[in-house]
Structure 1
Amino acid sequence: MTGQRQREFLKDNALSLAFLLLLLLSLAGQALSGVAEYNDQARTAQLQEISVWRYVTSSRFAVDTAENWQSEYLQFAVFIFLTIWLVQRGSSESKKPGEEGRESDKKQLLGRYVRDDSPPWARAGGWRTALYSHSLLVIMTTIFVLSWTAQAIAGRVASNEERMRELLEPQTLGQYVTSPDFWSRTFQNWQSEMLAIASMAILSIYLRERGSPESKPVGMPHDETSADD
């Protein structure tokens, strides 16, 4: 890849690359602070300290990571689905009132309105177009389910490690996923995600950030939902 093409690639994908970099930095911060906390507790209990590598491959790190991921992807899946059918007048996160639903083929560029440069599965018709029409929600929901499953499995292992240190009987997976601890941690994450989405939908009615696609134009009236004609 030439220097010019590299610069174009970085410019065209700057937002994704920036968030991936922030993700890696956040994971590194989580690992370093997490192993420091673990080793501090180990010293207090006169237990063996562990390395960063052992910590990031532990059930404790896995459950904390999966717990955050599942709640984030639940937020995305719920938001994508609800914004098909529900609107919030004046919010940049919503369609205009009266545009609820799946929308017409013309607006979605399907059927006889499909373009030559449309994605192949959008042009294919049949089950492939039907599946592609819901692919974003399907993937977000799948990642949520997988992350929640990983949270349950890793959480059970981490919980049983603590129970063994306290000379308690280990729990089965069924016992763990029906325990108050599991659901308390789960609902703590879910409520924060729902609050964040609700805040964004409501605050974007009245507040602005010039130049951001997540904001309406600064001079647009509060009760106007979209800049689209």
Structure 2
Amino acid sequence: MSGTSGTPAHREDTAPAAGRVRRFLRQNSLGLFFLVTFLLALAGQAVAGHARFNDELRGDGMAPISFGAYLTTSDFAVDVTENWQSEYLQFFLYIFATVWLLQRGSPESKELGKEGPESDEEQMTGAHARADSPRWAAAGDWRGLLYSRSLGLVMGAIFLLSWLAQSVTGVAAHNEEQLRGLEAPTSWAGYLSSADFWSRTLQNWQSELLAVASMAVLSIYLRQRGSPESKPVGASHDATGVEG
């Protein structure tokens, strides 16, 4: 009897826990999906990069390195950071540009005539903050000013840090290639003005900026049913700032 009496209690303990896990997964599925796919893509890049790097070493008559050693190389670091900085530049520019710039008919734009930072009442800040508003949103001093621009500032800071990391790891990777060819290494300042640095940088920038422009313009005329990045399927092409 003692064995059977413990079964319902066990089920009562595990059922709420399982429900909490399912609820957490459902409520955070978008972020978790992109986090998992990011990790998979990063792992795939590491595997492919390791194979390419060892092919280059063999071509130079050098011994290949282990996968773990490759993950600590400047070659791997610069490939990662040069993509990160362009992504965060995209978000930084998009966040600040959409405060003031409009695109007629695009759900990526605010409604026509509503450009600018909007009033405290519209933004629920200061005296217009609600009971459930973030604490700093209600502050009328520097905290409120900082918090009201915190998203763009953090995106900009991550962009600058990842761009700095790209330049540091980039010059290290560049100098490794120079030494293999028995050529003199380059200084960090010299690398910042080199064609290699700007080629790596601009090839990522142009692709990200084109993607944002394409999304803003194509969403005027094309639809994706159920997506907040699209207007409702039956919405007019001229409808602006409307999400489906």
TM bucket, shorter chain? over 0.9
What is the 5 A alignment of 1:34-113?
34-113=49-128
RMSD: 1.1
**Counterpart in the other structure of 2:239:** 224
Unpaired segments ≥5 residues, structure 1: none
Shift of 1:171: 0.7
Instruction: Tell me the equivalent position of 1:127.
Output: 142
Matches within 5 A, 1:133-144: 133-144=148-159
Structure 2 stretches lacking a partner, 5+ long: 1-15
In structure 2, what is the equivalent of residue 10 of structure 1? 25
CA distance in 2, matches of 1:123, 1:203: 38
CA distance in 1, matches of 2:60, 2:174: 17
State the match for 1:198 in structure 2.
213
Q: Report if the CA contact (8 A) 2:126-2:144 is conserved.
A: no
> What is the Cα deviation at residue 106 of structure 1?
1.2
In the alignment, which residue of structure 1 is the partner of 2:182? 167
Residue 153 of structure 1 aligns with which residue?
168
Q: Aligned-pair distance for 1:6?
A: 1.0
Letter in 2 for 1:39: N
2:151 & 2:219 partners in 1: Cα distance? Answer: 24
Shift of 1:38: 1.2
Letter in 2 for 1:204: S
Between the aligned partners of 1:57 and 1:122, the Cα distance in structure 2 is 42
Deviations 1:3-25 (A, max 9, x none): 11111111110000000000100
Q: Which residue of 2 aligns with 1:114?
A: 129
1:205-227 deviations in Å (ceiling 9; x for gaps) = 00000000000000000011133
Cα distance in 2 between the residues matched to 1:7 and 1:123? 34
Q: Distance in 1 between matches of 2:194 and 2:242?
A: 48
Where do 1:26-41 residues align within 5 Å?
26-41=41-56
Q: Highest CA radius of gyration, 1 or 2?
A: 2
Residue 213 (structure 1) aligned to one of 228, 233, 241: 228
1:82 Cα shift? 0.5
- Pick one of 198, 208, 217 that aligns with 1:183: 198
AA aligned to 1:168 is E
Structure 1 stretch displaced more, 206-215 or 118-127: 118-127
Task: State percent identity of aligned pairs.
Answer: 57
3-state SS in 1 of match to 2:138: helix
**Contact conserved, 2:60 with 2:180, CA < 8 A, in 1?**
no
CA contact (8 A) 2:82 2:163 kept: yes
TM-score (ref. length: structure 2): 0.91
> For the residues of structure 1 that align with 2:38 and 2:160, how far apart are their CA atoms?
21
**TM-score for the superposition, normalised by structure 1:** 0.97
